[in-house]
Amino acid sequence: MMPPEEDQRAVQVTVTGRVQGVGFRAWVVWEAQERGLQGWVRNLRDGGVQAVFAGPGAAVEAMLSACHQGPALAVVRQVQVAPWEGPVDPGFEVRYDR
């Protein structure tokens, strides 16, 4: 049985701290896929990581909670969350600056 449409949520997240060079993006991809989320993750030039998570509200909330911890070598200082109104492609991917 599919969850009701109104249970769907999409957010944009910016994570700061020691989150580059510690496997954060790969960890996000794995965690998001495990939760059945769609979206993307990318490094920011200022040293942060940005991601979009879309899917069932409970899965998005669980991913947001996980982002406060991150992978073993990360030191998360802040997690900023904002609603995401943009398109979200199927699947979950790492994006790179062009």
Instruction: Give Cα 51 to chain centroid, integer Å.
Output: 4
**Domain 8-85 falls under CATH 3.30.1640.10:** no
Task: Choose the catalytic residue: 25, 42, 77, 95.
Answer: 25
Average pLDDT over residues 11-29: 97
Strands of 49-56's sheet, edge to edge?
A: 75-83, 8-18, 49-56, 38-43, 92-94
The answer to whether residue 54 scores a pLDDT higher than 90 is yes
pTM: 0.92
Q: How far is CA 94 from CA 3, 40, 43, in A?
A: 26, 6, 9
Residues 6+ apart with CB under 8 A from 59: 35, 36, 37
Task: Choose the catalytic residue: 43, 45, 77, 95.
Answer: 43
95 belongs to the catalytic site: no
Express each pLDDT in 61-83 by its tens digit: 999 999 999 999 999 999 999 99
pLDDT for position 76: 98
Domain ranges of the chain: 8-85
77 belongs to the catalytic site: no
